[in-house]
Structure 1
Amino acid sequence: MIPVKVKEIAYDIMMNPVVLLIDEEELKALPIWVGHFEAHAIALALQGIRLDRPMTHDLLKSICDRLEAKLSMVVIVDVRDGTYFAELHMWHQGNKLVIDSRPSDAIALALRTETPIYLSEKVAQGTLAIKDLLSEEQQQELKELLESRRPNDFKKSLH
């Protein structure tokens, strides 16, 4: 399995939200298109914003906490016909549970619980080299962004 992190929510040319997962070396990227509500939930978690009332992923985290269920990892396990599939790997009362999930929900929960995210080897084969994904100018902007840790600037560079 390949560890990845969520770099940013970006938007494609049609303004569809894209979660950008990057490897630890920041050389490869996997864009996953998600819905607007899911993108919002992920963006809130990335920015550390907590709302007065729990959103669905906050509720799920609270339920896991109350039931003493621990999310140990999220794995993006497969892609079929352009659709990604994920699994939540959890522990509850000494039992390992593997629960099917949409990647966007799994990512939103992982960010809230500070749980590692992985790609299966099969999914990792679909990653793109950042140098092939972006123009030279965009690569330089991304390099500067990664060095400065200003994630909001990333959205601008992908348009």
Structure 2
Amino acid sequence: MLEVEVANFSISPMGYALILKPVHQRRVVPMFIGAAEMNAIANAKDGVKPERPLTHDLASHLLKEAGARVEKVFIHKYNDGIFYARLFLELNDAVQGMKISEIDARPSDGVALALRFSAPIFMAEHVYELTSVEPEQMIEPAGEAVEEDLLDEEKESLINALMEELNETVIENAPFQSRLDVLKQKLGQAIQTENYEEAARLRDEISNIENEF
């Protein structure tokens, strides 16, 4: 089990990527996530507190009010393009005292909450070996420009922008239009669940159909 930290953000043709790096390793793990989750992680990493609490801010407030805290996050599995994580909560039980509860969580949600509790983030070694790349392989480091873009609440989310772009093309052929609608719906679902390998496949299939016209 390796302790990892949020090293940077990156942009790729698939969208925003969270870059996780083990404390004493060179290779990094890119994890594609939604714009809202990236915003939440960037806020927590930079100590930015929005005027109104966002989803992860509200979740952390509720945990604190209930006497609970995030102890750690463990990214333990990678399968078919999807990362899986476990969130460990320290709960104050009136009968048993302090106890640890373990629940499933998306890695992006786990990281966003862990940062708000200054809790460590861990990754299984086999997941790291399977998904890590050299830093030079990253397409485009994000840096300050991307973080500023993420923190601008007036910016449209990456997902909405992608779906709007896909919906701009009007195809008169009904069978193809029906098929495109189904594919676009599946693409939206793949992005929402952070299954970016499936999203890439669907994106290519959509492009192939649109290029026929």
Measure, in 1, the Cα distance between the counterparts of 2:146 and 2:7: 9
Measure, in 2, the Cα distance between the counterparts of 1:88 and 1:73: 6
Please state how far the C-alpha of 1:66 moved relative to its aligned partner: 0.7
In structure 1, the gaps of 5 or more residues are: 143-150
The aligned counterpart of 2:73 is 74
Higher share of residues assigned helix: 2
Measure, in 1, the Cα distance between the counterparts of 2:33 and 2:48: 20
Contact 2:10–2:138 under 8 Å retained in 1: no
Is 1:120 paired with 2:124? yes
Measure, in 1, the Cα distance between the counterparts of 2:54 and 2:138: 34
Is 1:10 paired with 2:10? yes
Please state how far the C-alpha of 1:39 moved relative to its aligned partner: 1.0
Please state how far the C-alpha of 1:122 moved relative to its aligned partner: 2.4
Per the normalisation by structure 2, the TM-score is 0.60
Please state how far the C-alpha of 1:131 moved relative to its aligned partner: 5.6
Of residues 110, 114, 128, the one that matches 1:110 is 114
Which segment drifts farther, 15-24 or 118-127? 118-127
Query: Which has the higher Rg, Structure 1 or Structure 2?
Result: 2
Is 1:34 paired with 2:14? no
The aligned counterpart of 1:58 is 57
Q: CA RMSD in A?
A: 2.3
Measure, in 1, the Cα distance between the counterparts of 2:51 and 2:136: 42
In structure 2, the gaps of 5 or more residues are: 93-97, 148-213
The aligned counterpart of 1:97 is 101
After superposing on structure 2, the runs of 4+ consecutive aligned residues of structure 1 that deviate more than 4 Å are none
Higher share of residues assigned strand: 1
